[in-house]
Structure 1
Amino acid sequence: MLRKASSLKGYAIQATDDELGSVKELYFDDRQWGVRYLVVETGGWLSQRSVLLSPYSIKGVDEAQETVHVSLTREQVKNSPDIDTHQPISRQLETQLSDYYGYGNYWSGPYLWGVGGYPVYPLPEAGAVPPPPGESPEELAARAADNPEDVHLRSSKDVTGYHIAGTDDEIGHVEDFIIDDEAWAVRYLLVDTRNWWPGGKKVLLATHWIERIEWSDSTVWTTLTREQIKNGPEYDEDQPLDRDYETRLHQYYGRNTYWD
């Protein structure tokens, strides 16, 4: 299901034995656009500590009850590595976290979640699906080990408000993120164009249309033009974001779909 990332804010995190807290924000990586962690505020039972929960632990999202169910206990979360979410998260800290919970490392493979496209654990055997051309899982793991600080995790809260720059001019700013809560991937940036176009509209920018992100000046660069965006399909938040709309969106911009 595709949903706005902000819609998860405040959702309760339900462990197997008790409630853990509520969702504060998300961490995603700016290379494969995977949602790597939910930042969870635990409240009084854990001295207001914030913890990171990987989608590997998520069993499902109950939209009616506004609850995310995880396959963890309170005791597991209580004894997890203490990570300061106000500081950059290094690969070393991520490794400590994955080792503690016994998960695989999402960066040790060619797909969104290492050797697969979904955060399923136990993971399928690495040889079950032929890897695409590029670095092997072993090469990726070695590169990560050689570059312990080579982490591209970004906070959804911090990136909200970033400028969107096209090939010719500014297009708008990031208002939200559209995520897939099964693959736990960021599929689109929700862009508000009204800062340069009075009476403008909101549009979706697929993450595979993004050329680069300049963190120093808070700008996301895309290969689209302002005119393309201005004449492109509008995103209506009151209408379902279904595959038909996604297909029309990609056809308008003449781009391949992410599911192809």
Structure 2
Amino acid sequence: MNEGVNLWQFRDTSGHTAGTDLIGFHVEAVDGHVGKIDKHSEEVGSQYLVVDTGPWIFGRLVLLPAGTVIRIEIGEQKIYVDRTKDDIRNSPTMGANETDLGPDFRDRYALYYSPFYGGRVM
């Protein structure tokens, strides 16, 4: 368990470099491929990835807080997260036209993901 994870910030150990374009990178859960990055936010205190799951879960877009990222491999164009495919599949729904990613939206994800980190997220 990763206590004290800041869900909305890339971990110092992830290999993330500000300004790196992650769109199109493949996302790998601990148990397999999840999808590709559709968009991402570099905003301080609100970093996240939007993943297009393709046919895996009917083309659904999912949001992954940046704190779930454990490693970015630039050469492989892969991002590794510390969640399972089921964890991601069961996350809150994100509409295809979702544009308001403000505090209320982020709160839904923080409530969902915080138990994975001992309920201690920042």
Q: Does 1:55 align with 2:70?
A: no
Once the two structures are superposed, the pairs formed by residues 220-235 of structure 1 within 5 Å of their partners are none
**Are the counterparts in 1 of residues 73 and 79 from structure 2 also a CA contact under 8 Å?**
yes
2:76 paired residue number: 65
**Helix, strand or coil for the counterpart of 1:102?**
helix
Structure with more contact order per residue of length (Cα contacts < 8 Å, sep ≥ 6): 2
AA at the equivalent of 1:27: S
Say which of 101, 106, 114 aligns to 1:94.
106
CA drift of 1:93 comes to 2.3
Aligned Cα RMSD in Å? 2.5
Deviations 1:37-83 (A, max 9, x none): 11111110111111111111010101222110000111011111102
**Are the counterparts in 2 of residues 15 and 71 from structure 1 also a CA contact under 8 Å?**
yes
Normalising by structure 2, we get a TM-score of 0.72
CA distance in 2, matches of 1:81, 1:2: 27
Q: Does 1:10 align with 2:21?
A: no
Deviations 1:101-148 (A, max 9, x none): 117xxxxxxxxxxxxxxxxx6799x9xxxxxxxxxxxxxxxxxxxxxx
**Are the counterparts in 1 of residues 19 and 42 from structure 2 also a CA contact under 8 Å?**
no
Q: 1:123 to 1:12 in 2, by over 3 A?
A: same
2:6 paired residue number: none
Q: How many residues align?
A: 104
CA drift of 1:27 comes to 2.5
The structure whose Rg is larger is 1
Identity over the aligned pairs, expressed in percent?
Answer: 24
CA distance in 2, matches of 1:17, 1:83: 22
**Structure 1: gaps (5+ residues):** 104-120, 127-260
**Structure 2: gaps (5+ residues):** 1-15
CA distance in 2, matches of 1:123, 1:80: 16
Q: Does 1:74 align with 2:88?
A: no
